[in-house]
Structure 1
Amino acid sequence: MPPVTQRNVSFGDLKRHLLSVAEAAQVANMDADSIRKAFQRGILEPGYIMDGNRRLRAINGLDLVYLRIAPSYSRVVRNKLRTALHKALADQIVYSSVHIIIEDLSGRKKSVDVPLERAVDETLAGIEDLKQTSQGIEVGENGEALIRGTNVEVHRIAALVEGGISIEEINHDYPNLSEDQIKIAVEYARVHPKHGRPYPVRTVKSIFRQGTGTMREVLSEEDHTEDDQARRG
Structure 2
Amino acid sequence: MIEIQPVTPREAQFLIGMSEKDINRAIDRGEVEKISEPEEGMPVHGVEKGRRRVRKIGLSELLFLALEKQMHADLTPMGRRKLYQAFKKNEAKARTVSFGPFKANITEIQRNSLSKYKKLLDAKKNILEEDGTDPVIKGTDISAYRVAALAQGQTIKEIKADYPTLTEEQIESAIAYTEAYPKPGRPYPVRSFRRAAGALAEMGIFDAIETGTESAKE
TM over 0.5: yes
User: What residue ranges of structure 2 are gaps of 5+ in the alignment?
Assistant: 206-218
Matched, 1:121 2:111: yes
Instruction: Note the C-alpha offset of 1:63.
Output: 0.5
Query: CA offsets per residue over residues 133-188 of structure 1, 9 Å max, x none?
Result: 211212358643111222211011112223x2333332222111123322211110
Query: CA offsets per residue over residues 31-57 of structure 1, 9 Å max, x none?
Result: 333323323433123334543625453
**Aligned residue in 1 for 2:213:** none
Contact 1:77–1:100 at 8 Å: present in 2 too?
A: no
Q: Secondary structure at the match of 2:7?
A: strand
> Which of 48, 58, 70 is the matching residue for 1:60?
58
CA RMSD of aligned residues (A): 3.2
**Aligned residue in 2 for 1:39:** 27
Query: CA offsets per residue over residues 172-215 of structure 1, 9 Å max, x none?
Result: 2211112332221111011112234543333332232122699x
Instruction: Note the C-alpha offset of 1:60.
Output: 1.9
> Which of 152, 158, 161 is the matching residue for 2:151?
161
Instruction: Find the aligned partners of 2:179 and 2:133 in 1 and give their Cα distance.
Output: 18
Aligned 1:119-198 pairs, distance under 5 A? 119-140=109-130, 143-162=133-152, 164-198=153-187
Matched, 1:22 2:10: yes
**Aligned residue in 2 for 1:205:** 194
TM-score, normalised to structure 2, is: 0.71
Instruction: Find the aligned partners of 2:107 and 2:10 in 1 and give their Cα distance.
Output: 24
Aligned CA distance change for structure 1 residues 94 and 176 (closer, same or farther; 3 Å): closer
Contact 2:59–2:92 at 8 Å: present in 1 too?
A: no
Instruction: Find the aligned partners of 2:25 and 2:62 in 1 and give their Cα distance.
Output: 14
Q: Secondary structure at the match of 1:30?
A: coil
- The one-letter code of the counterpart of 1:147 is I
Instruction: Find the aligned partners of 1:208 and 1:125 in 2 and give their Cα distance.
Output: 38
Contact 1:96–1:115 at 8 Å: present in 2 too?
A: yes
Contact 1:20–1:59 at 8 Å: present in 2 too?
A: yes
TM-score, normalised to structure 1, is: 0.67
**Aligned residue in 1 for 2:84:** 82
Instruction: Find the aligned partners of 1:170 and 1:129 in 2 and give their Cα distance.
Output: 20
Instruction: Find the aligned partners of 1:165 and 1:136 in 2 and give their Cα distance.
Output: 21
Q: How many residues align?
A: 190
Aligned 1:95-106 pairs, distance under 5 A? 95-101=94-100
Contact 1:147–1:153 at 8 Å: present in 2 too?
A: yes
**Higher relative strand content:** 1
Aligned CA distance change for structure 1 residues 206 and 93 (closer, same or farther; 3 Å): closer
Instruction: Find the aligned partners of 1:179 and 1:30 in 2 and give their Cα distance.
Output: 27
- The one-letter code of the counterpart of 2:99 is I
Contact 1:100–1:114 at 8 Å: present in 2 too?
A: no
Instruction: Find the aligned partners of 1:93 and 1:178 in 2 and give their Cα distance.
Output: 35
Instruction: Find the aligned partners of 2:107 and 2:162 in 1 and give their Cα distance.
Output: 44
User: What residue ranges of structure 1 are gaps of 5+ in the alignment?
Assistant: 1-6, 102-110, 215-233
Aligned CA distance change for structure 1 residues 81 and 177 (closer, same or farther; 3 Å): same
Instruction: Find the aligned partners of 1:148 and 1:41 in 2 and give their Cα distance.
Output: 40
Aligned CA distance change for structure 1 residues 112 and 195 (closer, same or farther; 3 Å): closer
- The one-letter code of the counterpart of 1:81 is L
Matched, 1:112 2:110: no
Aligned CA distance change for structure 1 residues 160 and 31 (closer, same or farther; 3 Å): same
Over the matched positions of the two proteins, sequence identity in percent amounts to 26
